[in-house]
Chain A
Amino acid sequence: MSNPIIQVQNISKSYWRDSLEVPVLNGISIDVQEGEFLGLMGPSGSGKTTLLNLIAGIDRPSKGNVIVGGTDITKLSESNLAKWRSHNVGFVFQFYNLLPVLTAFENVELPLLLTSLSKSERKKHVNLVLDVVGLGDRVHYYPKQLSGGQEQRVAIARAIVTDPTLLVADEPTGDLDKRSAEEIMTLLERLNSEFKKTIVMVTHDPRAVEKAKVVHHLDKGELS
């Protein structure tokens, strides 16, 4: 077996509510291989989103290390971590989190503004990924003019436009009807199988998790 692209090493995470320490994750260790599609399941409050956030570098563990592509991201400064995220991680959120004042094209173009690509190169990339997610004919639509499933596809296009190493998805079907959810999961599966994207996905949805190659269950901050 090849070296894992993600190594979660004995991480713990606690939050503070006033003076009360609330433990969320307790000594979790996971390895994720390159090109894997990992599903994280568990009841609410089990810590799966927290684990996803730690892997994606938008939160820091109280203890332990997270190594992604050979970089220990727990050691990076805030600005370096932001830079690292822009190059290595694509995010798909439950509620899409598109900017309502921007068109589908402009939303997808957003991460490319941090690169040195020219306007024409950006346009080429954006059109390409919008075609991949099947929205080549909706480039100038605003989020409010799109259905939930289409919005999520724009969010996926935004997540993959920089060709990141890792794709993280937090309940990507949580706000969608059954049919749209099915389409999104098919799209994610295609990104994994066809474009070899490593995907870590948190979900409650048993149908969604069927697409994952590996599934971990979390309960009360521990892998079960």
Chain B
Amino acid sequence: MKVFKLIFKNALRHKLRTFLTIIGLAVAVLAFGVLRTVVDMWDEGVNAAAVDRLIVRQSVSFIFPLPYSYCAKIEKVHGVESVSFANWFQGVYIDKNNFFTRVAVDPETYFNVYSEFLISPEELETFKKERNSCIVGSGIAKQFGFKIGDVIPLEGDIYPGHWEFVVRGIYQGREKATDITQMVFHWTNVDERMRQEMPGRAGQVGWFIVKIKNPSQAAAISEEIDALFINSSDATKTETERAFTQNFISGLNSLLMAMNFVSFVIIGIIMLVLGNTMIMSARERTREYAVFKTLGFSAGHLVGLILGESLLIASLGAGLGVLLTYPIVAGIEAVLPKGIFPFFYITPTTLILAAGAALFIGLVASIFPIQRALRTKVVDGLRFAG
């Protein structure tokens, strides 16, 4: 008879209690995993930002446009490799709930600065030639069933009117964290129509994307770009793509912090649940522990028995929780509108954290029972009536 067998038998002594504790742990690990995944995905979005890209936006807010004419001036700044630009188009695709990123871009340069968007040269060439064409990310292509040659109708809101774009390419992401949920089309197409219908809005872009040769020069280049336009009516604010992304989601920071906090509160609660189970078990076995001591078993043996049982329950709960997290996260990914999270997957860090937290719970939950078992004198333990 091995010690592990005894640990296993002890854990299954009260099957219902152990089962409920394992389920509780699994649900907690699942909740922890899902919440951490949500927080991670926001962080991944920020972390995925390239270090060699700067974003030039209007100094007051990125909702205000900049003159297209800035492009040529920015290109001349020392250290700049290439410049592209984009406009937030928004619009509605059939239903308002069909949310994904829709931007008007410069077809000649956009895929140069976003080299992580992988597209075949043939598709890119076709896109460049056809003014009413668009390219979609593989994520939304899969979600909405877009194929080459399909026409995507959009009802404009920021840019009013009915718009139609022909899909001429589908790009893939180079990394798992690459955003594959964008729909991009010709800025000139949008600008031309603005020129005809709302001339005051023509010749404007939302932001410039600047690819720089040396990321360590980012601060100096940013200062130089902003200095070019400091006395103009549209002063600029240039920042790294990461800072830009962080500003973009800053309104959600409180929510993310709350989710982060709740994920750890869940761990704390389940720690109490398992701790309670272990304390009850150890209390019921006070006399048995005294018998063990009487027979000559050492403190180390008792620690092994109690800690082993606690870790066994915690591990089973964690294992089940992690197994359940995969289909749940996949289910959430399937029902979430693609634009909310460019990508949604469980990171290895989340799994390690969940498993580590469960083992930590197992360890902490065994402290009081171990203390009690070791402190109780043999004669007191043998007299224990339970």
Contact = CB atoms under 8 A, between A and B. Distances in A.
B1 interface: yes
B6 A86 contact: no
Contact of B379 (A53, A85, A97, A101): A53
Interface string A168-202: 00000000000000000000000000000000000
Contact of B378 (A59, A84, A86, A109): A59
A97 B288 contact: yes
A82 B6 contact: no
Interface string B342-386: 000000000000000000000000000000000001110010000
A86 B296 contact: yes
Contacts of A83: 296
Residue of B1, B9, B297, B379 with most chain A CB atoms under a 10 A cut-off: B1
Contacts of B297: 82, 86, 114
A56 B379 CA distance: 11
B298 interface: yes
Interface residues on A, range: 20 to 34
A121 B108 CA distance: 83
A140 to B, nearest CB: 12
A135 to B, nearest CB: 17
Interface residues on B, range: 20 to 34
Interface in B288-315: 288, 291, 293-299
A221 to B, nearest CB: 16
Contacts of A87: 296
B378 A58 contact: yes
B76 interface: no
A102 interface: yes
A93 interface: yes
A176 to B, nearest CB: 18
Contacts of B287: 97
A104 to B, nearest CB: 12
B213 interface: no
Secondary structure at the A interface, as helix, strand, loop or mixed, is helix
Interface in A78-96: 79, 82-87, 91, 93
A111 interface: yes
A82 B288 contact: no
Contact of A102 (B1, B294, B377, B378): B1
Contact of A101 (B9, B293, B294, B296): B9
A102 B294 CA distance: 17
Nearest to A110: B295
A113 interface: yes
Contacts of A93: 291, 382
Contacts of B293: 58, 82
Contacts of A109: 1
Contacts of A114: 295-297
Given A102-B6, A102-B9, 10 more contacts: A58-B294, A58-B379, A59-B379, A82-B296, A97-B291, A99-B6, A100-B13, A101-B10, A101-B13, A111-B296
In the A-B complex, the 5 residue pairs with the smallest Cβ-Cβ separation, listed nearest first, are A86-B296, A101-B9, A58-B378, A97-B291, A85-B296
7 contacts: A56-B294, A58-B382, A59-B378, A85-B294, A86-B297, A97-B382, A102-B1
Interface of B: 1, 3, 6, 9-10, 12-13, 287-288, 291, 293-299, 377-379, 382
Interface of A: 53, 56, 58-59, 79, 82-87, 91, 93, 97, 99-102, 106, 109-111, 113-114, 158
